Amino acid sequence: MRRICKYCGKEYDGDPGSSCCPDCAAAQRATTLRPRTCRACGVTFDGGPRAWYCPDCRAERKREASRRFRRGGPARPIGSEDLCEICGRPYVVEAGRQRYCKDCAEAAVRAVDNAQSRAWNQANTTPEARRKERKAHTATIQCVICGKGFVPNSVAITCSPACSQELHRRNCAAWEAAHRPERNAYQLERYHRRKDDKKD
């Protein structure tokens, strides 16, 4: 069905649930950078899924963390060993915030990302809002029967039940016209078969 891309505004053929054209969808998948709102100062900035603070607030938080932890010295020197919080096996510390071994790190970080994504979706989206967005990005098309413009709620190409019935009638008539010889031959064969059965 005809849709209107919410990013570039052009019309395209897409599924009823889509809201952006293939070009914009590919551009969105190419990067995870999106406009984010800083939790400290409220400014909007481009960041990844786990970016909570703008660059200025992030730098200030790093400086504060450095001042806070510098007093007691590093708790785990780089190169020392620690135990993975998931599997309990020892690993070599390569960063101050490392908590997992290399075998568990990817799955653990993905689980945190998925949990944050689900929480954000539950807090910011509803089925009603998604339906409203899909309807807002549906393009107006012309009914193939009467030519009237309408906004479809599905893959329908007719504007009303009456036009849908007329389209069905025309499709049946077109099929009959295209297959009349085969249909007549079939009906004639059935007639002779019933006639022979009565003789028996």
How many independent structural domains does the chain possess? 1
Whether residue 26 lies inside any domain: the answer is no
Reading the block at residue 7, the tokens are 């990013």
Whether residue 168 lies inside any domain: the answer is yes
Whether residue 42 lies inside any domain: the answer is no
Q: What share of the chain is helix, strand, coil (3-state, %, to 5)?
A: 50, 10, 40
Beta bridge partners of 11: 4
pLDDT tens per residue across span 20-76: 899 999 988 888 888 899 999 999 999 988 899 999 999 999 988 877 766 555 567
Whether residue 172 lies inside any domain: the answer is yes
pLDDT tens per residue across span 78-100: 889 999 999 999 999 998 788 99
What's 138's DSSP letter?
B
Full residue range of the structural domain in which residue 154 is found: 149-199
Count of C-beta atoms within a 10 Å radius of residue 100 = 19
CA dihedral 7, 10, 12, 15 (to 10 degrees): 30
pLDDT tens per residue across span 103-115: 999 999 999 889 9
Whether residue 163 lies inside any domain: the answer is yes
Whether residue 183 lies inside any domain: the answer is yes
> Residue 54 to residues 32, 36, 123, 137, 185: CA-CA distances in angstroms?
16, 8, 21, 31, 77
Query: What pLDDT was estimated at residue 102?
Result: 92
What's 6's DSSP letter?
T
Whether residue 193 lies inside any domain: the answer is yes
Lowest mean pLDDT among 24-28, 121-125, 172-176: 121-125
Count of C-beta atoms within a 10 Å radius of residue 49 = 12
pTM, 2 dp: 0.42
